[in-house]
Amino acid sequence: MEKTLVILKPSAIQRALVGEVIKRFEQKGLQLLGIKMIQLNDKILDEHYAHLADRPFFTRIKDSMMITPVIVTCWKGKDAVQVVRNMTGATNSRVAVPGTIRGDFSMSMQENIVHTSDSIENAKVELTRFFQDDEIFDFADAKKQFLYSNDEI
């Protein structure tokens, strides 16, 4: 089973969509292993978005991510990284298909409700960036037998 990071951005916080976003992941069958609210700062954003540092919109991203605290979450499930990416939709919300989180709740490239890990490798790095080991709780999932067939787990 994979673990992945989802950050509920200030746009989700300000628009009171936190419960709706979490509800969608839970209804899909993903298991919530960690959740906390934090205030991001320049240091962590410089690290998190280092791959965008030379882009003209880098400052805009950082400013946007510091408007309010964010909620960082850790989710677990079979192919969790790809499942979450599919549920989230395209980064540019204007082209995200209806039924996805961004397709249903956003009109922006930047103010697009969530950040999600884009690979298994990045999920591991990002989870370590935002969570201490004792903040992620890996426990038995009572509903697992109703989510997956025996040969999937």
Q: 35 has which bridge partners? A: 73
- Backbone φ and ψ of 57, nearest 5°: -95, 5
Tokens of 106: 């956003």
70-77/31-38 β-pairing? antiparallel
Whether the CB-CB separation of 4 and 84 falls below 8 Å is answered with: yes
Whether the CB-CB separation of 2 and 57 falls below 8 Å is answered with: no
CB neighbours of residue 145 within 10 Å: 10
Q: Which entry of 10, 102, 115, 116 is annotated as an active-site residue?
A: 115
Q: Let me know if 115 is a catalytic residue.
A: yes
Which residues are known catalytic residues?
115
